[in-house]
Amino acid sequence: MSELYEAIRLVAAPDVVIAIVASAIYGLVVGSMPGLSATMATALLVPVTFWLSPIAAIATIITASAMAIFSGDIPGCLLRIPGTPASAAYTDEAYAMTRKGQAEMALGAGLWFSAIGGIVGTLSLVLMAPLLAEMALSFSTYEYFWLAFLGLMCATLVARSSPIKAIASMLLGLLIACIGMENPAGTPRFTFGMTDLLGGIEPIPALVGVFAVSEVMRAMASAEPPKLPKRKFGSILANQWMLTKKYQKPMWRGNFIGIIIGVLPGAGADMAAWVSYAMSKKFSKTPELFGTGHPEGLVEAGASNNASLASGWVPALLFGIPGDTITAIAIGVLYMKGLNPGPTLFTENARSMYALYLIFIIANIIMIPLGIVMIRMASTVLRAPRASIMPVILLLCAVGAYATGNNLFSVGLVGAFGILGFVMERNGYPVAALVLGIVMGSMVETNFVTSLIKSDGDVLPFFERPVSAVLAAMTIGALLWPLGVWIWNRTGGARLQPRGAAE
């Protein structure tokens, strides 16, 4: 209890309270602007965290991401343009409700069930993380190697593009992680004689470039979204209790799916929303109503995307393996603030973990009143010209990049990764797999080399320990899965097709 009281004191500190409120407003505004993702909003906050205390820094990341995921529903509902990728799954459904005169119900469902999903996801984090931490304390370098490798493989499996492109993106990320001399041998690699590259490529400039600068480039290449006409809204939460009672099963199913998908490395809120919306339609008693302005899909997908946001912190805090792109950024901030991810974080710094749980709960509670205000102000915020917003974002990227390394090389690095992210997205290569390769490359290599040194070059110890053997089997299965699907489609799958379908 003393640790809990200390956590409450940490969260109640003036700088933390200000950070929560300011980042909540920031996340709501950025998330509601079409084309600006929650990941980009989080990446732009990284330079600000340099001057904050550890708890305040983590509070900004948690609060801004939770708010941005919800507020992406606003332009999707009113303009049929999703504000964030997580809102894209049910944009057509929400817009159909607006055309039927039910904009308040659609926006209220997004707000209400996002808050419920966030709180349920936080409870899963509170329950799962300490239990897994107990088990992780017995992990050796063999288990950590297979765990990191499995995380990379999962990221390629859950990517919405082809597995080949996802693996190519991941390998490019691993190659970038090899740059510098911070490797077990201490040998300079791929530095080309440049002293700036001896320290390697820091994940933060890479993340800011890939997610923020590339978003600016995409905005430049696309048409300006239509302006939202001014309108007045009725009661936002009027029918939400009725929807909660009517769609209890979809709500809890969405929470469960979000928690499971959140734990998978590289999946994230957007995949949770797509899977939950599809599941809602599959198990609905009235699937024919989907696409006509039916709230059932909104309930399940809205609960799922914010539940996945909290559960994505489980692998990030325990093993340093990001559950999604937002926690990839958060891991960088944790290291920067001395809160190194790992099972010992829960034993040696329990008060910080309790503070993190409290911030998640507070963020999802204040989401409701602040979200209502944001919905009512949507007409004003969404009329802001893109030509005024994008230069500010680019300037923040440059200032933040310079602050990370105190040199112009970091600014150039952010620009280079912005171009790389833009080109990859345009050609269907998932940047999430690239980011996971960069973030986890050193973890894979260090644990692999350390394990080989311990075993004197013998590979059998990689499979001898029970947990290590299970993780190895899962990793090899994930590695061979795309090949198995390809062989099935070329041989067995084609033979099992009905004759009419084959013709």
Q: What is the DSSP string of 266-332?
A: T-HHHHHHHHHHHHHHHH-S-GGGTTSS-HHHHHHHHHHHHHHHHHTHHHHHHHS--SSHHHHHHHH
Please answer whether residues 258 and 117 qualify as being in contact, where contact means their C-beta atoms are separated by less than 8 angstroms.
yes
How far is Cα 192 from Cα 177, in angstroms, rounded to an integer?
15
Residue 362 counted as domain residue: yes
pLDDT band at 190 (very low <50, low <70, confident <90, very high): confident
Give the model's pLDDT for residue 31: 82
Mean of pLDDT values over 191-207: 82
How far is Cα 402 from Cα 379, in angstroms, rounded to an integer?
35
Q: Which residues of 150-168 are buried (b: 16+ CB within 10 A; e: fewer)?
A: bbbbbbbbbbebebebbbb
Give the model's pLDDT for residue 72: 82
**Quick check: 309 pLDDT over 50?**
yes
Give the model's pLDDT for residue 501: 42
**Quick check: 116 pLDDT over 50?**
yes
Please answer whether residues 424 and 159 qualify as being in contact, where contact means their C-beta atoms are separated by less than 8 angstroms.
no
**Quick check: 252 pLDDT over 70?**
yes
How far is Cα 449 from Cα 138, in angstroms, rounded to an integer?
19
| Tokens (6 digits) for 22 | 């300011």
pLDDT band at 260 (very low <50, low <70, confident <90, very high): confident
Write the CB contacts of 486 (distance below 8 Å, at least 6 apart in sequence): none
How far is Cα 140 from Cα 465, in angstroms, rounded to an integer?
10
Mean pLDDT rounded to a whole number for the chain: 82
Q: Which residues of 80-115 are buried (b: 16+ CB within 10 A; e: fewer)?
A: bbbbbbbbbbbbbbbbbbbeeebbbbbbbbbbbbbb
Q: Which of 121-135, 253-267, 320-334, 475-489 has the lowest mean pLDDT?
A: 475-489
Residue ranges making up the domain that contains 133: 2-226+236-490
Residue 74 counted as domain residue: yes
Mean of pLDDT values over 169-193: 84
Residue 496 counted as domain residue: no
Q: Which of 105-119, 197-211, 361-375 has the lowest mean pLDDT?
A: 197-211
Q: How many CA atoms lie within 13 A of 310 on its CB side?
A: 35
CA distances from 242 to 265, 304, 368, 416 (A): 35, 19, 17, 50
User: Which pTM does this prediction carry?
Assistant: 0.78
Q: Which of 76-85, 285-294, 319-328 has the lowest mean pLDDT?
A: 76-85
Residue 304 counted as domain residue: yes
Residue 123 counted as domain residue: yes
Angle at 68 between CA 313 and CA 433, to 5 degrees: 50
Residue 394 counted as domain residue: yes
Residue 231 counted as domain residue: no
State the DSSP code for 189. B
Write the CB contacts of 139 (distance below 8 Å, at least 6 apart in sequence): 147, 343, 467
Q: How distant is the alpha carbon of residue 323 from its chain centre?
A: 7
State the DSSP code for 87. G
How far is Cα 89 from Cα 293, in angstroms, rounded to an integer?
14
Residue 497 counted as domain residue: no
Mean of pLDDT values over 322-329: 80
How far is Cα 71 from Cα 84, in angstroms, rounded to an integer?
8
How far is Cα 27 from Cα 63, in angstroms, rounded to an integer?
7
Mean of pLDDT values over 489-495: 63
β-strand partners of 189 = 180
Give the model's pLDDT for residue 440: 81
% pLDDT > 70, the chain: 92
Give the model's pLDDT for residue 158: 60
**Quick check: 361 pLDDT over 70?**
yes
Write the CB contacts of 434 (distance below 8 Å, at least 6 apart in sequence): 169, 170, 172, 173, 176, 210, 420, 421, 424
Give the model's pLDDT for residue 61: 92
State the DSSP code for 225. P
* Number of domains making up the chain: 1
